[in-house]
A and B are shown apart, each in its own frame.
Chain A
Amino acid sequence: MDGKGKITVRCKDLCKTFYAKNRKQDEENEVIRNLNLEVRENEFLVLFGPGQCGKTTILNLMAGLVEPTSGEIEVNGKKVDGPSKDRGMVYQTTALFPWMSVMKNVSFGPRMQGVKKAEWKKRAQYYIDLVGLTGFEDSYPVKLSGGMQQRVGIARAYCNDPDVIFMDEPFGHLDAQTRYLMEEEIEKICSKEKRTVIFVTNNVEEAIYLADRIVVLTDMPTTVKKEYMIEIPRPRDYTSKQFLSLREEITQCVEISGTFEEAGHGDE
């Protein structure tokens, strides 16, 4: 928030090109080009960009699920070279295990680390309470609504006590009403449980409502277009003047960057 503090995640000249072998020709798909990004400790960073830019790919790169073509990612000074339990992820679609109860889903991380039962139960219960699912410990994911399922996903990521949590459009599949509710909820959670969060979205309001800082991305090949520090005091009001003018500004920024990129492609 204050622009100082330790840097948790650092991306240096990050590039990613996917190569797909088709029947006759090799296809190249340049998704990310020279992305530089620094995320401070306990910062809520929103990656905001047009629909099909490589937002998810950036998260997958940082999570270590995908290897960069060139460039480097460091988390807490250590180079990322594969997935790790220090980096949690909340997914776009519900990624809960349908054969496990809420309690078992949330405690998955600690259980896999061999934490003692009394301990993981306590920890999981704390996060289940935190996301407001008290009383649903023994329910199975199919019985829960979309919003509740995402709460479980969030609790699961937190319960493993990671240094960074990546959230990949976690509310993208929810209806508008639930979405507002979840945005409030996540803000509450984040103020109680300070963590470095990198949140991906294509919804301006969501971005402004949640972010300490918004990084606007360009179309593919994706790179940083512009950054906004959001200094509106929390909890934020969707209809305040500051909010609306910022919304206008960021929307325009994305639209302009979109057209520029397309024009650039035409010339090549």
Chain B
Amino acid sequence: MKKSKKYMVISTISMVCFFVLWEMVTDVLHLFPVYSMPSPIKTFQAFFIKLVNPSPDGSVLLVHVAASLQVALTGYIFGAVVGIPLGILMAWYKPVDLFVKPIFDLVRPIPPIGWVPIMILLLGIDLKSKAMVIFVSAVIPCIINSYSGIKQTSEVHINVGKTFGLTKFEILRKIAIPTALPMIFTGLRVSLGVAWMTLVAAELVAATKGLGYMLQIARTIGRPDIIVMGMLVIAGVGAILTGTLEFLEKKFVRR
């Protein structure tokens, strides 16, 4: 308790230092031109204004957040639902592994953002194309982590299952998947981070709504306060998503 309090104090000091320094270089010392770097005060003002005012990009902040979340979560959930079972089956059944591996290895080195142009051509610039890009980015960590989680199942545990008369599928369900569960959650966490990052990048290129789009518009009309505010909101939402997942993990996985 005492230690965590100490950490709290140090973290608070570090945050305060950050904002003071930021205020110093902007409002006090004017080290940057006003059109490139906003002061923290201006940034916070932009936050509250953007909550109610749809200019300059046509939507209030929460609409952008909602649009981004919708795309990110659609692609992410889709990626998890496909990736986790696929990784598990690849790890447990050799033929599945042999069949999927070549395709997987071929696709894996392509950065998720590299999928944006083809997805725009295929699906337009609405939710579908971005969700597909997110899907590609989210599915890969899900596959890799559930695959290696299943592979961690100890030989002895498998033998225990066999001597208790379990079939191969029962061993997978009752022994291998519980073994892999922490790794599967790691995959979910990594995926979520990647999905959120990919989303913003995808929105910079193709969107009519969303946090990335808001940033892009703000850049074209020279509103650095909205840009920096948007970045902070992206960070905040990302942290909330990760926190939610960690909460769920604690509920489901016991170590």
Contacts and interface: CB of A to CB of B under 8 A. Distances in A.
A97 interface: yes
B163 interface: yes
Contacts of A99: 178-179, 181, 254
B165 A85 contact: yes
A113 B254 CA distance: 25
B interface, how many residues as a size bin?
10 to 19
Nearest to B160: A95
Contacts of B181: 99
A136 interface: no
Interface in A97-133: 97-99, 108-109, 112-113
A63 B163 contact: yes
Interface string B163-179: 11110001000110011
Given A91-B156, A95-B156, A97-B157, A65 B162 contact: yes
A170 interface: no
Contacts of A89: 159-160, 163
A97 B255 CA distance: 11
Main secondary structure of the interface of B (DSSP, over half): helix
Contacts of A112: 164-166, 170, 174
Contact of A95 (B157, B165, B170): B157
Nearest to A157: B163
Q: Which DSSP category, helix, strand, loop or mixed, fits chain A's interface?
A: loop
A87 interface: yes
B132 to A, nearest CB: 35
B178 to A, nearest CB: 5
A68 interface: no
A88 interface: yes
Contacts of B163: 63-65, 83-85, 87-89
Interface string A52-91: 0000000010011100000000000000000111011101
A180 interface: no
Interface of B: 154, 156-157, 159-160, 162-166, 170, 174-175, 178-179, 181, 254-255
23 contacts: A64-B163, A65-B159, A65-B162, A83-B159, A83-B162, A83-B163, A83-B165, A85-B163, A89-B159, A89-B160, A91-B156, A91-B159, A93-B156, A95-B157, A95-B160, A97-B157, A97-B178, A99-B178, A99-B181, A108-B160, A109-B164, A112-B165, A140-B254
Interface of A: 60, 63-65, 83-85, 87-89, 91, 93, 95, 97-99, 108-109, 112-113, 140, 160
Given A89-B159, A95-B154, 13 more contacts: A64-B162, A65-B162, A65-B163, A85-B163, A85-B164, A93-B156, A95-B157, A97-B157, A97-B178, A99-B254, A108-B160, A108-B164, A112-B166
